[in-house]
Structure 1
């Protein structure tokens, strides 16, 4: 695209005039030009490589570089261990550091032959992966000690840790066209060598997200313990498993979170789809894990989780009826004074590894009881503004999904449902919650399918 500013060039008989500068244009005109250029470059495609085509426009002028190019190219920076030194040299000035909002630290593990796509790592390969990650994080954290909290933008600084192998990308494609990952990538967990790693404390990161290979919860917890001003945490948590190692990891993670007093936004995701069947764990709503998670979530403003936490067990204190496990003596229903946003997603699949229920009737009963329990729980969430609960039931015949959305705005409480008709149990639970706020509940039910069940 050519940008035409309607500038005329003098002839030999005309007096040479000073070339107009970009700053001579009104601010609105400059922003329009920048917007047009940005839309026709890969300015937002920072994940695919260290340099986007928009960086070439920095040579137009110093004004273009400082006012247009750098605010885009430095907003989200991809760093690798090999490029760490150049990163430190490039982002030395306070002006550039104030632009940065996200640092994606990408650690590449060793390549492997395609014949090993479906094979987990050997013990020697696991040790090698641990060594690579431990050394890379140590180097990165030491480099980040050169940053001061005053260097960052008021929006804060987020750390996105991605760890994978160049060979993890499968030649197969998913239904939506995206690349799948290999079986080795799905089954090979990562961990830090906690006996060797030494990470300094850093106070410049307000958010931390981890993707790629699954990182063990205790390793995540160690990293979190070094981020002193962390407010947002988005990580994977081991899926339901009865293996002693997994139970210990989950309990340690949930207990350790309680030492992170600054975290206000927590998003927990299960690891990528598991390839080996896992039997459903026993119902333990009063176990150490659920006790610690309920305790920690009471300091959150936003809490989101999927199948890595069984929602029925988490909200057991608000379940009613016979057969409900009695709480320990002195155990009170949790109170969430800060919670503004809640997002819950669970699956009830009629096959491994989601065998929470044995049939569709049991699944629908669990969904109904959960939606009612969360409705009762919202009475203990005085600051709540938004809730989204999605429950999926997969049978041999089809996939059914049940969605409830709650919004409190302008002194109105609105509940929207899709995939089911709320029965008396659910409606009353949410109506009583709305009454706590001194307002009536407005229910909207999508009637796309006349055969939707009543729950």
Structure 2
């Protein structure tokens, strides 16, 4: 009797071709529109299919809710399955609300209810994850994606990008943990943490971060850079608390959704405790990224010292980023409060120039830098101008490319002198498509 044919008897390339063709007919990659069979249906083909094809796709990214947490723990018990998992998305759903409340903020009672839901859900999740051993998971660790929202947060209206708009309540509401009621155990299996959905206060984020012992990657929202008391307090507390996140090497900071009722920006204070703590913490990072939530001019002010500039306090030393390999910065001007920053285009261009010069000088103190991208956006009379500089270093060669402006002598010298100080020859290219591009 002939032996039962085995999938493993086929060459590796043939097996991968079969797997790829089947995956395209399912919803495994989320690209198909309309109904599609789930990849799990193919688990019954054979044990080989289940272990070699189905499970690596099914368990790569796990989406869990508080209601499904128990079944998730039962399904992902074997070390083999746990070793496949790369990301756990924990989705916490808040209470629904009536459509006519879309534009209204949560009442104090509703806010307390949201706090109770989130606090209880996270406590249960963390206790469940203590059953996972670090030796069972990938050596790189797992990513934890926390998504918190209400089913009613999505509007029936469609935005410019084709996706649904968020209800006003979702944009104006904020979340926090009940730090007195919650007791989260320490966990050593997560190396990355990202938080999306409703805005979670940075102090609550730090409470979560403090329990993730092996955390290397942190991607979260800061509060708006405004004069609102809550924003000022949360930003300062976050910057101060980061000193305890000693294992974090990749930091990505985002601003929340635009304010429905804009608040003014605070006066520029580049030597404030917030910027001092952020500069200090960034020096332990290998990758650092931020948008409007941090003002690039104020952050890099130590590299703009000169006539007309305030002297640096003696207690604040010029930063030195020994580990930094990647830098990504995005700032806007005159778009929406509290990020107007300037009063007119001339002032905006002067600020963009200062950013480009300061960062160029700062790269002298980034010996390991491989990639940098600086994007500055200026809105003038309804027209959005982009000013972009991209720096790449590879195999002993460094190239900087500019778009939207002509590099001025001061900016060119700042970047080239910094490269030369590191023994690197820098070549700068700029697009010449726009004859009216300003010189910066």
Q: TM-score range by the shorter chain?
A: over 0.9
1:291 to 251, 276, 282: 276
CA distance in 2, matches of 1:397, 1:99: 49
Q: Which residue of 2 aligns with 1:5?
A: none
Q: TM-score, normalised by structure 1?
A: 0.94
Matched residue of 2:199: which SS? Answer: coil
Q: Does 1:268 align with 2:291?
A: no
- Cα deviation, residue 178, structure 1: 1.1
Q: Which residue of 1 aligns with 2:227?
A: 242
1:364 to 300, 325, 349: 349
Q: Does 1:129 align with 2:129?
A: no
2:417 to 432, 438, 452: 432
1:385 to 365, 370, 381: 370
Contact 2:60/2:84 (<8 A) preserved: yes
Distance 1:101 1:52, change over 3 A: farther
- Cα deviation, residue 202, structure 1: 0.4
CA distance in 1, matches of 2:360, 2:37: 47
Q: Which moved more, 1:329-338 or 1:399-408?
A: 329-338
Q: Which residue of 2 aligns with 1:305?
A: 290
CA distance in 2, matches of 1:398, 1:52: 46
Aligned residues: 437
Matched residue of 1:211: which SS? Answer: strand
Matched residue of 1:206: which SS? Answer: strand
- Cα deviation, residue 69, structure 1: 0.2
Distance 1:52 1:320, change over 3 A: farther
2:72 to 84, 87, 108: 87
> Cα RMSD between the aligned structures?
1.5
Q: Does 1:148 align with 2:139?
A: no
CA distance in 2, matches of 1:194, 1:135: 11
Contact 1:350/1:357 (<8 A) preserved: no
CA distance in 2, matches of 1:244, 1:114: 30
Q: Does 1:213 align with 2:198?
A: yes
Contact 1:346/1:390 (<8 A) preserved: yes
1:279 to 257, 260, 264: 264
- Cα deviation, residue 255, structure 1: 1.1
Q: Which residue of 1 aligns with 2:387?
A: 402
Alignment of 1:21-60 (within 5 A): 21-45=6-30, 53-60=38-45
CA deviation string 1:285-325 (max 9, x = no partner): 11111010000000000000000001111001001443322
CA distance in 2, matches of 1:452, 1:251: 38
Q: Does 1:202 align with 2:187?
A: yes
- Cα deviation, residue 244, structure 1: 2.4
Q: Which moved more, 1:280-289 or 1:213-222?
A: 280-289
Q: Which residue of 2 aligns with 1:11?
A: none
CA distance in 1, matches of 2:145, 2:303: 36
- Cα deviation, residue 275, structure 1: 1.4
CA distance in 1, matches of 2:412, 2:192: 37
CA distance in 1, matches of 2:25, 2:90: 27
Q: Which residue of 2 aligns with 1:253?
A: 238
- Cα deviation, residue 179, structure 1: 1.4
CA distance in 2, matches of 1:364, 1:39: 48
CA distance in 1, matches of 2:100, 2:214: 44
Contact 1:52/1:73 (<8 A) preserved: no
CA distance in 2, matches of 1:65, 1:319: 60
Alignment of 1:157-176 (within 5 A): 157-176=142-161
Distance 1:433 1:68, change over 3 A: same
Q: Which residue of 1 aligns with 2:407?
A: 422
Q: Which residue of 1 aligns with 2:439?
A: 454
- Cα deviation, residue 17, structure 1: 4.1
